[in-house]
A and B are shown apart, each in its own frame.
Chain A
Amino acid sequence: DQQVKQNSPSLSVQEGRISILNCDYTNSMFDYFLWYKKYPAEGPTFLISISSIKDKNEDGRFTVFLNKSAKHLSLHIVPSQPGDSAVYFCAASGIIQGAQKLVFGQGTRLTINP
């Protein structure tokens, strides 16, 4: 049972354009959402997060949008740069079965083309 889903395994975007990565979740107990970025042979690095009491959080070129009613979040990168090419993981945190859990999606490989 995949509680956090990233339905696009890969995404290719032209440099300078907007990259939009999507994530859906099923468990309404999740109350905090995070995006991680991962380069090959490295561990994931924290990128941006959003609490369930907000619908938008912005940090420089990165903006995360949360639609609680649709159980959907997205990460916007504007403008996209070649260094943004990486695998992006969406994660959701909440009290699941009595314990705080952090659940990850499958990841989306973003490629920025020059």
Chain B
Amino acid sequence: DTAVSQTPKYLVTQMGNDKSIKCEQNLGHDTMYWYKQDSKKFLKIMFSYNNKELIINETVPNRFSPKSPDKAHLNLHINSLELGDSAVYFCASSHGQGNSPLHFGNGTRLTVT
């Protein structure tokens, strides 16, 4: 199936740990994104990569580090997790044009205890 897939679906961890979320798309898109959705469902962009190059980097703590080994993958590594990092993280992809719609993965629910 063509899709944006991210793993894991659920991630429960303790404060101070380091964790990673992986994302892969097989839609042939050039651009990938990470969005954070908080408990009130508000969505905010974190990062965007185009062909492995970082092009959007919003005000995000530097504990969050995205890595794009190729244009089909965009992983998110989080160091020293904090309670406030608990959220649902969505990966998305699109063609590399300003008004292209985004295709989202099903999200990773991160719970920091």
- The finding on whether chains A and B are genuine partners in a shared complex, rather than unrelated, reads no
